[in-house]
Chain A
Amino acid sequence: MQQKPILLTILDILSIIAIGIATYFALVLAPTELVMGEVQRVFYFHVGTGWVALLGFIIASIAGVAYLVSKKMFWDRFGLAAVEVSAMFFLITIVLGSIWARPAWNTWWTWDVRLTSAAVTELIFIAYFMLRAGIEDPEKRARFGAIYTLLGGLSAPITFMVIRLFRSIHPVVVGNPSAEAQGGFDMTVDMRNTLFITLIAFTILFIDFIWHRVRLGGLQEKVEQLKLKTLGE
């Protein structure tokens, strides 16, 4: 049995502390936004989870390329971990966005660019899981999975651009604030700091989750190997 690496335990503790600090900043220290009030605080977590979800999606595509080039099973486990963690964070992002959208836009759901793209990405992930579930041979499963994440990674930016052709009401908070969109707001320095801390906290948590999932995948493989060995003899 593999011992859990000490560095991973440290990372566990670090992510708990980081998320704790981020929560304190977001819920207590950051100033209340004037127009929207307390509900605006959900924004920090929304952006934090959204950021790592996107990061996971990109990493999954990179892992896909790495697998196809190297044919090392590690990259398959890594890609799967990235997709699973990213799928979870995308879901949280969408739910948090909904909670924020209800008072801000007066609707739970809207067919806005980012929302719709996130939903399409979730569907790509579900298709990915179904694809994997339908293949027995681990090598083929890894190969098909890698190709599919790559196709997803290539189509997602075009999906985003195409949906943008429909008019968007999602506020652009960071970057150029062409804030015709409803619910846009200017961030104060405190808000910026809070957002920054949340982003770091979720990134640490994300790395921690990925590490755990990759390790779990390795252990799963080992169990399969042992099973095969005992059954074979």
Chain B
Amino acid sequence: MKPSFLKATFAIIHKDLAAEFRSRELLTAMLTFSVLVILIFNFALDLNIDVRQKVTAGVLWTTFAFAGTLGLNRSMAVEKDRGCMDGLLLAPVDRSAIFFGKAISNLAFMLIVEAIVLPLYAFFYNETRIFQWEFIAVLLLGSIGYISVGTLLSAMSVQTRTREILLPILLFPITIPVLIASVLASGAIINDAGLPQIITPLNLLIVYDVIFIAVSFMFFDAIVEE
């Protein structure tokens, strides 16, 4: 009767997306927050053409990282609040299927937000250089690394007394390599820097992704057990 790994993973993703497309709570919050952050950056950094040249990648990544913690917190709180995490754990499926299910839905939410915020940013600042496939690829790689550690740590923080407050504090120091490497690589791409300036951070990003997907996958069981 045990469902296959893929079926269980897919069931969780399907469930998360169906619930989210009905309530739209998480996506609305993430999107509104992202727009607010960009608005604040506009005035805090005075994003004129000269400044934008340098900081576009940084502004976007800061926005996504902050919005990401909102989504991660919410996505795990949904499981915790009505005991649904117990429901998942009671099912005869591998714990890693639960991890991948949650991680992939979280990634989907993050990518949806990015897919809406990027055109908005381009619209606000007439910045079309962000629509290069290399830029999108870096965004995808960065999001994967960020979300895999984020899913693991949100499963951890949701079980502590301080819950939502703790997640960014746990997550940001660990994901600094993702953020810096992504900013470096995507910044180099939109500024047409040489290939070495893109490849080096990109390699580190890939190394990080591989290591932390493996580690998160390994430790998820140890975090949800009792």
For residue A150, CB closer than 8 A to chain B, the reply is yes
Asked if residues A135 and B177 are in contact (CB atoms below 8 Å), the reply is no
Q: Which residues of A lie under 8 Å from residue B207 when comparing CB positions?
A: 158
From the candidates A68, A130, A158, A165, name the one contacting B208 in the complex (CB within 8 A).
Answer: A158
B interface footprint on A99-134 (CB within 8 Å = 1, 0 otherwise): 000000000000000000000100110110011011
The minimal Cβ–Cβ distance linking A157 to chain B, given in whole angstroms, is: 9
For residue A162, CB closer than 8 A to chain B, the reply is yes
Asked if residues A155 and B176 are in contact (CB atoms below 8 Å), the reply is yes
Q: Which residues of A lie under 8 Å from residue B176 when comparing CB positions?
A: 120, 155, 159, 162
Asked if residues A155 and B222 are in contact (CB atoms below 8 Å), the reply is no
For residue A147, CB closer than 8 A to chain B, the reply is yes
Asked if residues B215 and A150 are in contact (CB atoms below 8 Å), the reply is yes
Q: Which residues of B lie under 8 Å from residue A150 when comparing CB positions?
A: 215, 219
From the candidates B163, B173, B201, name the one contacting A127 in the complex (CB within 8 A).
Answer: B173
Q: Could you count the A-B residue pairs with CB atoms below 8 Å apart for me: how many are there?
A: 90
Asked if residues B173 and A124 are in contact (CB atoms below 8 Å), the reply is yes
Asked if residues B174 and A124 are in contact (CB atoms below 8 Å), the reply is yes
For residue B138, CB closer than 8 A to chain A, the reply is no
Residues of B within 8 A of A (CB-CB), count: 34
User: What class of interface size applies to chain A in its complex with B?
Assistant: 20 to 34
Q: Assess A152 versus B177: contact at CB under 8 Å? Given A134-B160, A147-B219.
A: no
For residue B166, CB closer than 8 A to chain A, the reply is yes
From the candidates B200, B204, B222, B223, name the one contacting A158 in the complex (CB within 8 A).
Answer: B204
For residue B211, CB closer than 8 A to chain A, the reply is yes
The minimal Cβ–Cβ distance linking A60 to chain B, given in whole angstroms, is: 14
Closest Cβ neighbor of B172 among chain A residues:
A123
Within 8 A of A (CB), among B128-178: 149, 152-153, 156-157, 159-163, 166, 169-170, 172-177
For residue B181, CB closer than 8 A to chain A, the reply is yes
For residue A140, CB closer than 8 A to chain B, the reply is yes
Q: Assess A163 versus B180: contact at CB under 8 Å? Given A134-B160, A136-B161, A151-B174.
A: yes
User: Considering the chains assembled together, what is the distance between the CA atoms of A152 and B171 in angstroms?
Assistant: 10
Asked if residues A148 and B200 are in contact (CB atoms below 8 Å), the reply is no
User: Considering the chains assembled together, what is the distance between the CA atoms of A59 and B141 in angstroms?
Assistant: 31
For residue A8, CB closer than 8 A to chain B, the reply is no
Asked if residues B200 and A165 are in contact (CB atoms below 8 Å), the reply is yes
For residue B189, CB closer than 8 A to chain A, the reply is no
Asked if residues B166 and A130 are in contact (CB atoms below 8 Å), the reply is yes
Q: Quick one: which of A123, A127, A147, A162 has the most chain B CB within 10 A?
A: A162
The minimal Cβ–Cβ distance linking A50 to chain B, given in whole angstroms, is: 19
Asked if residues A154 and B211 are in contact (CB atoms below 8 Å), the reply is yes
Within 8 A of B (CB), among A66-99: 68
Asked if residues B177 and A131 are in contact (CB atoms below 8 Å), the reply is no
Sample 30 A-B pairs with CB under 8 A, ordered by A number. A123-B172, A123-B173, A126-B169, A131-B157, A131-B160, A134-B163, A134-B166, A135-B160, A135-B161, A136-B161, A140-B226, A147-B222, A148-B170, A151-B152, A151-B174, A151-B212, A151-B215, A152-B173, A154-B211, A154-B215, A158-B211, A159-B180, A161-B177, A161-B204, A162-B176, A162-B177, A162-B180, A162-B181, A162-B201, A165-B181
**Residues of A near any B CB (own CB < 8 A):** 68, 120, 123-124, 126-127, 130-131, 133-136, 140, 143-144, 147-148, 150-152, 154-155, 158-159, 161-163, 165
| 6 additional A-B residue pairs with CB within 8 Å, beyond A68-B222, A123-B172 | A124-B174, A143-B223, A151-B152, A155-B173, A159-B176, A165-B200
